[in-house]
Homo-oligomer: A and B are copies of this chain.
C-alpha cells in the first residue's frame, strides 16, 4: 500500500534531511518541531517515532555532518598522488564544501554553541582529533616525498586545520569581507613555504 518502500532507516534519514534543511535556514534554536514536521511532510507525532527528542535530532544531525565531512577528508587523504596535491585538494574541498552551501556550513555554529548535558554532548574532540590525524598522515607522506622538511613540528596538523577553520569562520561571518578561496590558498602556501625542506 505504501507507494515507496520506505523502511525505517530511510524515513529517519528523510526526516533528518528535512531537519538539517530547516536548521540551516533558521538556526537550531528558532526551529520548532512543527517546522521540521512540515518540511518533512509528516505530522508532528511522527517525528517522535524516529527520534526521542528535539535534542536527539540535533545530535543526529551533527553525527551525520561529521561523518560526511570526515568521510570526504579520508577519501582525499587516502587517494593516490603526491601528498602536496592531496593537501591542496583537501583544503579546496573544505572551502568548496562550505561556499557551495553557506547556510549549511553555518550549522556548525549551532553545534558549537551546544553546551553541557541534554544532548549526547556533541563530540567535537573526537572529530577534530581524527581530522588532525588524517592531516598528519598527509604531512608524513609529504615528508617522505621530500616535499616538506622531515621534522615538521608536532603542532602542524592543528595549525593547518585551524588555518582552514579560521579562514572559513571569517568568511561565514562576513562573506563580503573575506574571499574564502584565495585566503585559504594563501594560508596553505605560506604554511608550506614555512615548512619547505632545508
A-to-B contact residues, CB < 8 Å: 26-30, 106, 109-110, 112-116, 124-125, 128-129, 132, 153-156, 158-159, 161-170, 173-174, 176-179, 182-183, 185-187, 189-195
A-side interface mostly = helix
Nearest-neighbour CB distance to chain B for A12, whole angstroms, equals: 20
Q: How far is the CA of A113 from the CA of B167 in the complex (A)?
A: 17
A27 CB contacts on chain B under 8 angstroms: 113-116
Report whether B183 and A189 are in contact in the complex, using a CB–CB cutoff of 8 Å. no
Report whether B187 and A190 are in contact in the complex, using a CB–CB cutoff of 8 Å. no
Partner of A169, one of B166, B186, B187, B190: B166
Report whether A170 and B161 are in contact in the complex, using a CB–CB cutoff of 8 Å. yes
Top 10 A-B pairs, shortest CB-CB distance:
A162-B166, A166-B166, A193-B194, A190-B194, A125-B174, A27-B115, A113-B113, A194-B194, A155-B186, A124-B173
